[in-house]
Amino acid sequence: MREPPIRGPQLPADALDRILTARPEAAGLPAEAYTSAEVHAFEQELLQRRGWVCLGRTDQVAERGAQRALTVAGEGVLVVRDTETVGVFVNACRHRGHELVRSGCAVRRATVWCAYHAWVYRLDGTLRAAPRFGDLAERDPVGMGLTPVRSEEWHGFLFVNLSGDAPSLAATAGNLGPLLEAYEPAGLIRTAEHEYEVSANWKLLVENYLECYHCPSTHPELSKVQRTTHGLDFEDRGLWLGGYLDLDNDAVSMSLDGRGPDWRFPGLDEERARQVCYHALLPGLFITAMHDYLVVHRIQPLAADRTRVVCEVLFPRALLDLGTDPGYAAEFWDVTNRQDWQACESVQRGITRPGFTPGPLAPEEEGLGRFLATMAFLYRSGRSPSASWPTPAAYPGALRTAATAGTTAGRQAR
Ligand code: FES
Ligand SMILES: [Fe+2]
């Protein structure tokens, strides 16, 4: 059963309504949306607990018995690889709640084992042994087993839905799944991982990702290898937003010097191979797809003004087998990431200054405007995420252009 709507946070209703009905004249969210502990708690409940959150790649628990303890919306979960499947459980022993693996740590064991009184669980979560409890493990291995958390694998990514009642992940991601298939994401190899802690609200990172209006001034290196003004927003059906921009004519790849392998995923035609495709699956997975590799950002809100980001570079096996050194991608995105985080931190400081009033959005910021409208809708409705939003019907004024037809592209925007 779906959980009921929750009361939205105390934000100026007129500012939210302006975003919902009068874009693009209306501008950003009120500053409190980026600073208030109440808004943060609301978003944690509605988006992180009731939505689908990406925990990473399934190959991070590749071998049987691999176990990782992670935190989602303040709750501890344990990811466990069995022979064929990956399971996710509440990271608490069924006896008296001791953590099974310390949060943030990874182990590899033949069983899940509690260090407190030595209860033992199989890798599928069922209870195998409880010392001095007689035949408890034989009598009720499932009932006394680990508490499962709803999870799904999607293109090599592992997602959880803590509340257990979100629409399916496939429905939530909508047409993003089919769009990504050409990049064969399930089989990609992780070649680099960078972690950052950004002193800014997570929404500023999403907003920043959804526009390249800032690129010429913020990213000198990126602006040499990718065109920053010609592109299209995708016709997104599902809980995601995105668009693409073309590689510069003189660039082969997204790298600091524009050089890279003259190779493309077999499923891409020549035109698509020249596109840098940006996709933000809400609330926190950015997938940037290019002809030779993918870069993925996972966005984890830690507090109203603090966000953890994990950035991973994923390469196709076929390209690595040709002897390609994938370092050019990690180097390029680390430079670009740091520029972005610096900008987001500066915005966080700026919008919270007394007297700041949000200004209008540029035409290139259409995608970001749609994200703001989505958030304004959430604050107003308190409704859980579902595959049916954002939709033009939910806020017709805000999404006046979204119904534009197209196979992958909707409208000129970037
Ligand atoms: S709390 Fe785990 S065995 Fe007692
Ligand atoms: Fe950027």
Dump pLDDT digits (tens) for 325-337: 999 999 999 999 9
> Does 281 share its domain with 355?
yes
Does ligand 1 come within 6 angstroms of the Cβ of 98?
yes
272 lines ligand 1 (CB under 6 A): no
141: CATH: 2.102.10.10
Q: Are residues 46 and 86 in the same domain?
A: no
Distance CA(189)–CA(195), nearest Å, equals 18
Q: Which structure tokens are listed for 350?
A: 């700026």
How does strand 120-121 pair with strand 127-129?
Answer: antiparallel
- Residue pair 254/226 in contact by the 8 Å Cβ criterion: yes
Structural domain range at position 147: 61-161
Confidence of residue 411 (pLDDT cuts 50, 70, 90): very low
Summarised one tens digit per residue, pLDDT across range 176-205 is: 999 999 999 999 999 999 999 999 999 999
Ligand 1 centroid–CA 129 distance in Å is: 11
Share of the chain above pLDDT 70, in %: 90
107, 126, 161 - which closes a domain: 161
Q: Are residues 347 and 221 located together in one domain of the fold? A: yes
Same domain, 33 and 144: no
Residues 74 and 46 in one domain: no
Domain's final residue, options 111, 132, 161: 161
Strands 66-72 and 75-81, bridge-based pairing: antiparallel
Yes or no: say if 205 and 150 are a contact pair by the CB < 8 Å rule.
no
Question: Does 272 map to a domain?
Answer: yes
80 in a domain, yes or no? Answer: yes
**96 occurs within a structural domain:** yes
Interval between CA 301 and ligand 2 midpoint (Å) = 19
pLDDT at 398 over 70: no
Same domain, 262 and 142: no
Average pLDDT of the segment spanning 257-273: 95
Coil/strand/helix, residue 24: coil
Q: 371: which 2 tokens? A: 């994200």
- Check pocket membership of 121 for ligand 1, CB cut-off 6 A: no
* Shared domain check, 217 and 70: no
pLDDT at 382: 82
% of the chain with per-residue pLDDT over 90: 72
pLDDT, position 237: 78
What's the pLDDT score for residue 386? 58
pLDDT tens digit string along 1-38? 666 778 888 898 888 888 877 655 557 899 999 999 99
Q: Has residue 1 been placed in a domain?
A: no
pLDDT digits (tens, 9 = 90+) for 116-128: 999 999 999 999 9
- Which of 140, 161, 182 is a domain's end point? 161
Q: Are residues 123 and 174 in the same domain?
A: no
Total domains present in the chain = 2
